[in-house]
Amino acid sequence: MNIKLDNIVLLVFFVFVGICIVWGALWAFSTERRLRRFFLGKKAKDLEDTIVKLEEHITALKSAQEKTEKNITEINQKLKKSIRGLETIRFNPFPDQGSNQSFAVGMLNEEGDGVVVSSLYSRERMSVFAKPIKMGKSEYELTEEEKAVLKKAEVK
């Protein structure tokens, strides 16, 4: 038996083509079967309605997402202006009398704006002072205690 190399190559080619055809047919058959199961009992109108409803839901979700992102931006802007740093120091401004009844309270936002409230207590009277703070500084002279409380109240 004398088989030529050309015949073997031709035979391998036809076997390969046959395998590809059988595999393609099996794939098409299995895909057809899955599609039949998917569309079982459904009409084209039902599927179209489902797709339209899904599109409406996606549009509503996009709108809700945009509103949420806008709200988050507004909240972040408001948060920057809210009091974020709060500290209190008690001290005795008059060593010869009383105890630590005097205090300083510093309240600052993220931008370093706020107020420092201080109270000086003595036996005869009590004085309360409020000094506005802009970018960590005051146009009024600050005591050492007020400077210390502002340093502690800085938002990091």
Rounded distance between C-alpha atoms, residue 51 and residue 45, angstroms: 10
Question: How much of the chain, in percent, has pLDDT values that exceed 70?
Answer: 92
Q: What is the mean pLDDT of the chain?
A: 87
Rounded distance between C-alpha atoms, residue 106 and residue 113, angstroms: 10
Cβ-based neighbours of 91, under 8 Å, separated by 6 or more: 100, 102, 103, 104, 145
Whether the pLDDT of residue 119 is over 90: the answer is yes
Residue 146 in tokens: 């007020």
**Residues 9-30: tens digit of each pLDDT:** 888 888 999 999 999 999 999 9
